[in-house]
Structure 1
Amino acid sequence: MNVTTAAQQHDKPGAAGTRTLGLIGAPSDVAAGCRGATMGPEALRVAGLGDVLAGLGYSVNDRGNLSGPVNPGGPRGNGYRHLAETTEWVRLVRDEVAASLAAKELPILMGGDHSLSIGSIGAAARHCHEAGKPLSVLWLDAHADFNTAETSPSGNIHGMPVAVLCGDGPEELLSLGHARPMLDPDHLVQVGVRSVDMVEKRMVVERRLRVFDMRTIDEIGMRAAMEEALEAVGRVGGHLHVSFDADFVDPSAAPGVGTPVPGGPNYREAQLCMEMIYDSGLLGSLDIVEVNPALDWRNSTAELAVDLVKSLFGERILARVL
């Protein structure tokens, strides 16, 4: 266990403040369609994630990498690819995030593919249930991730975590939560969505998910979209979990992802998004997932992710009085 503490703490608006941050590496790509996200945690470390956060005045506890099943490269079976392996990784993440929360840390999950968020959000949901406070989730992603075995073209579970969290999925994953659903769909807001499968579209509408897709962002702007999104999660109050998929950002700025979709937020829009989350003071836990160095250029996507996380934890262009 490696603990780094900055010499000077800074006054900051918002709940993150001077809390200890727990870094958790989950090097898994068993639920993804292509290999390489296993290298994501180390890419984030190489890009200086821990040092950057310490430099902002936080105490950083790097909990190291979890160790789980390797990717067997197997075919789809009963609607899913690698369900047993994914279930084990989700369980490992759930337990480590729970331990981080119990230690009063703000956990930062470094993935790995997006199925791992079932574990991190499942842990946050149990933590909030036991503490008697509500959980809300801000899902920053190019994809809705609301597929099931019946609707998924591929069977890759990294396209299913939102459905699982909202109560639709295999028993193996649903049973890992404290309740069913693990997350109230009314407490979820998605931002940046621009790729949704045909049947998945109907399911998103039927479950009345709150989605700020890229057309909405184009029409009203990122600032207005984030104001509405943060107002929605702010009404829930309590603990906000931010789940950041690197493909949220346009691939021109973040090429190292397994499922790039053109037309996403640009660098400055993504920065504004993170700055506004920080200003809200709601952040309680974080995922950084789907960074794939095998598809990247000189670690530019991990470096971009670290740059965005700096803003999420209080980096300013100029000092502001809020």
Structure 2
Amino acid sequence: MAPTFVVVPQWQGSVSPRAMRLSDGAEAIRGDLPSTVTHQVPVPVEAGDALDSGIDRFSTLVMVRERLATALRGGTGPVLTIGGDNGVSLAAVENASRRHPEDLAVVWLDAHPALHTPDTSPSGGFTGMVLRALIGEGAEGLTLDAEVRVPLERVVLGGARAIDPAEDALIRERGIVSLPVDDLDSPEALVDALRATGARTFYLHLDLDVLDPSALAGLADLYPFGLSVETLNRLITALRAEFELAGATIAGFAPASPEAATDDLPSILRIIGALTR
């Protein structure tokens, strides 16, 4: 993957009390990316309004989605999108789906399955709804249209361990493939699951909270028993050996301070290396 980077320091999709650190995290990563192939999408300072959508800060999230879609439009190759919160994957997957119609799977590595809608979300935060929006279900303005949505049979979840009851019910009722952390110790189960989708290309959504807190401290929410960086990089390498990477998101970096960011950046750069070399 010839690396092109788009940095989107969006925090408005998160309901964490540390949400604004997500903007700092995106900026910290940007500082270590090659400037000649890195672009930044401006994110408003203001939080935004729900506008009766059931989604907190909906107005700002729609604005950033449109700005990111514009930044990605016309590109022909894969892009590594750096959040911010995981809502940046909406426009990024939409772009990849237009470039790979009817042949794109999504591998969603995240402590949260993000399968809520405004009707089921206990928080109103868009970060809990993003994957559901990718399959075309959610609020108008923050969901994919029929021609670019990703069908559930081409979605593979991995590493989710903060699953709400409504999400668990959806996973069971619709037969969504969801691999627990233990199944990701070696790449075979994930490769087999992606192979079973029939897709030849995949988009990798990576929320860094899929990692164990011992591997990365700068997370908005800490969930134990996650992946190590080494295990994650083995998964990425195995997937790329068999399938074409259409693009990727790295989201969820929320360092407490510039010094804390410096401690975590070597691990994040190793992940970026696995995605781009």
- TM (norm. structure 2) is 0.89
TM alignment of 1:1-322, pairs within 5 A: 16=1, 19=2, 21-33=3-15, 34-46=19-31, 48-50=32-34, 61-63=37-39, 65-72=40-47, 78-100=53-75, 104-129=76-101, 134-174=103-143, 177-179=144-146, 182-217=149-184, 221-233=185-197, 235-237=198-200, 239-294=201-256, 297-314=260-277
Corresponding residue SS for 2:30: helix
CA contact (8 A) 1:166 1:182 kept: yes
Q: Which deviates further from its counterpart, 295-304 or 34-43? A: 295-304
| Structure 1 residue identity aligned to 2:159 | G
CA contact (8 A) 1:76 1:155 kept: no
Q: Which deviates further from its counterpart, 36-45 or 25-34? A: 36-45
Gaps of at least 5 residues in structure 1 are 1-15, 52-59, 315-322
Aligned residues: percent identity? 23
CA contact (8 A) 1:98 1:124 kept: no
Corresponding residue SS for 2:68: helix
1:118-163 C-alpha deviation (Å, 9 max, x unpaired): 110011112223xxx5111111111101011122121110111011
| Structure 2 residue identity aligned to 1:43 | A
Query: Alpha-carbon deviation of 1:250?
Result: 0.7
Partner residue in 2 for 1:7: none
1:148-193 C-alpha deviation (Å, 9 max, x unpaired): 112212111011101111122101213xx44267111111111111
d(CA) in 1 for partners of 2:105 and 2:14? 25
| Structure 2 residue identity aligned to 1:286 | A
| Structure 1 residue identity aligned to 2:126 | I
d(CA) in 1 for partners of 2:140 and 2:49? 20
Partner residue in 2 for 1:318: none
CA contact (8 A) 1:137 1:241 kept: yes
Query: Alpha-carbon deviation of 1:311?
Result: 2.1
d(CA) in 2 for partners of 1:78 and 1:271? 38
Query: Alpha-carbon deviation of 1:277?
Result: 2.3
d(CA) in 2 for partners of 1:147 and 1:185? 14
Partner residue in 2 for 1:320: none
Corresponding residue SS for 2:247: strand
| Structure 1 residue identity aligned to 2:231 | E
CA contact (8 A) 2:7 2:30 kept: no
d(CA) in 1 for partners of 2:116 and 2:123? 10
d(CA) in 1 for partners of 2:66 and 2:158? 27
Query: Alpha-carbon deviation of 1:68?
Result: 3.0
d(CA) in 2 for partners of 1:295 and 1:216? 34
CA contact (8 A) 2:160 2:180 kept: yes
Corresponding residue SS for 1:225: helix
Query: Alpha-carbon deviation of 1:25?
Result: 1.0
Corresponding residue SS for 1:110: strand
Gaps of at least 5 residues in structure 2 are none
- TM (norm. structure 1) is 0.77
1:250-293 C-alpha deviation (Å, 9 max, x unpaired): 11111212122111112321121122123224112111111112
With over 3 angstroms needed to count, the CA separation of the structure-2 counterparts of 1:216 and 1:134, relative to structure 1, is same
d(CA) in 2 for partners of 1:229 and 1:50? 34
Question: Between Structure 1 and Structure 2, how many residues are aligned?
Answer: 273
